[in-house]
Amino acid sequence: MRILLFVAGWVVGLAARVSHRLTLAYYRSRGAVIGRNVRLYGRVDRVNPHLVTIGDNVVVGLGSRILAHGPVKGGRPVSIGSDVYIGAGAIILPGVTVGEGSVIGAGAVVTKDVPPMSIAAGNPARIIGDRDPAELARTRECLEKGLPVGKVPAV
């Protein structure tokens, strides 16, 4: 029984990794520029994916949306810098640039640019602090080693 459960868990994990790679390949085929070590658990605009740029070592949380189109202003590019963490349920609106190393809180609605190494949260998102460089280094190490974010012990 244990062996069966182990094999079933392994198959499910493998299917999840394949599905994730297919999702990234789909967005890239539609023109989105997506860097290395990106974990995309949310969604990218399907109308204008070619207007979305995502840097290296980025985590986009479950249920998050990166939008590049709107009914009034039309399509506008969205840029997510490297080493950015976007919390679950966050919405990045068209025309926004999220600077390198920034953190977007869960459920935030980002309507304006976020400077590098900032922490933004709320609706509309406001800068509430600065990101610690040591924490950024630990997160980058997790992503590069393929570990869950937060599993590298603090130094």
Those residues whose C-beta lies under 8 Å from the C-beta of residue 154, and which sit 6 or more positions away, are 134, 138
Could you tell me the residue range of the domain that residue 79 belongs to? 2-145
Residue with tokens 């790679």, as numbered in its chain: 21
Q: Confidence class of residue 72 from pLDDT cuts 50, 70 and 90?
A: confident
Q: Given pLDDT bands bounded at 50, 70 and 90, which one contains residue 13? A: low
- d(CA 60, CA 90) in angstroms, rounded, equals 9
153 part of a folded domain: no
* Residue 110 φ/ψ, nearest 5 degrees: -90, 110
Predicted TM-score of the model (pTM): 0.81
pLDDT tens per residue, range 89-110: 999 999 999 999 999 999 999 9
Number of domains in the chain: 1
pLDDT computed for residue 125 by the predictor? 93
Residue 24 lies in a domain: yes
- Dihedral angle, C-alpha 61, 62, 66, 67, nearest 10 °: -160
R_g over Cα of the chain: 16
On whether residue 99 sits in a domain, the answer given is: yes
CATH of the domain at 57: 2.160.10.10
The answer to the question of residue 52 being in a domain is yes
Q: Does residue 44 lie within any of the structural domains?
A: yes
Q: Which DSSP category does 50 fall into?
A: G
Secondary structure letter of residue 154 according to DSSP: P
